[in-house]
Amino acid sequence: MLEVKTVETRTPIEIALDIDSEGMTTASKLYSFLKLSQSNYSKWCRTNITDNEFATENEDYWRFVIEYESGVGVKQREDYKLTAHFAKKLSVKGNGEKAEQAREYFTAVEEKVKQTAIDRSQLSPQLQLMNMLVESMNKTELEQKRQAQQIEQVQTTVDNMKEIFTQPIGDWRNEINARIREISIKSGIDYQTLYNELYGRLETIAHCSLQRLQDNKRSRMEKAGNTKTAIREATTKIAIIYDKPQLKAIFEDVVRRYAMAYA
């Protein structure tokens, strides 16, 4: 029996961008192709897609949910299907060879789409009507899939929120650190910047100065004759928080609220 092999007919750039039959790519594939910093992906999506006043959902882009493996199991995140025209506009904001390749490719796709539209105008009225009906059915199906994905995403968010608020913290420092790292990944906020932001929230709520608490403890330990290593380890901000039950409880709550916001 002969083995049937699937022949890949797409060009290298179409494979890299995972172009579908409608000439569409996804935000994650385009971002990766442009070789932008992975740590800024979430922020890039918010700025250029969801918060973009010149972009219209379900016209320029469509939301959907993808699953991916993380250090704590399977996670979900939003991605976006992009039209060729919108993908080209996003590529215009990039510099370098990859951005130029993407712009040239999507420009060619747009021209092909325009030519197809011209060809359709030559169809008989009956075939044009049939074509419009098929396109309408396709749009309806895509919208139904999007709504189903949104419902699933809401349920996942609710489940994540339950876990955030009910799961006790065992190894406090390591688990707090792991949660903050996960928030950093989901939010696109730099890890150290996020830590400083959380410390700032703690100081505002607790009406305290972590720097002053660090200085006071450092002074006491120096007078007691502790080693420099011991002083350094005991006077980090997270160590200061850990040693004070009230600050520890407040910081836990701040981290939980941030985790909920980016669940």
Range of the domain at 223: 164-261
Q: Residue 129 corresponds to which amino acid?
A: L
User: Domain tally for the chain?
Assistant: 2
Residue 166 has a pLDDT of: 45
Token match 């707090």: residue? 176
The residues pairing with 77 across neighbouring beta strands, listed in sequence order, are 66
Q: How many residues does the chain have?
A: 263
The residues, any chain, with a CB within 8 Å of residue 35's CB and separated by 6 or more, are: 96, 98
Could you give the CA distance from residue 119 to residue 107 in angstroms, rounded to a whole number? Answer: 19
Of 73, 103, 127, the position where a domain reaches its end is 127
Of 79, 111, 127, the position where a domain reaches its end is 127
Q: Are residues 21 and 118 in the same domain?
A: yes
Q: Are residues 97 and 204 in the same domain?
A: no
Of 104, 127, 150, the position where a domain reaches its end is 127
The residues pairing with 80 across neighbouring beta strands, listed in sequence order, are 63
Q: Which of 78, 65, 83, 67 is nearest to 139 (CA)?
A: 83
Q: Are residues 181 and 115 in the same domain?
A: no
Residue 165 has a pLDDT of: 44
- What does pTM read for this prediction? 0.42
Q: Is residue 212 part of a domain?
A: yes
Phi, psi of 80 (to 5 degrees): -140, 130
Collapsed DSSP state (helix, strand, coil) of residue 93: coil
Mean pLDDT by 10 residues, the chain (263 residues): 54 81 86 84 89 87 80 76 86 72 75 59 70 71 68 57 48 86 86 90 91 93 91 92 90 87 70
Please return the burial class of 129, using the count of CB atoms within 10 Å of its CB with bins 0-12, 13-18 and 19+.
exposed
Phi, psi of 6 (to 5 degrees): -85, 125
Residue 154 has a pLDDT of: 53
Q: Is residue 192 part of a domain?
A: yes
Residue 102 has a pLDDT of: 76
Q: Are residues 241 and 173 in the same domain?
A: yes
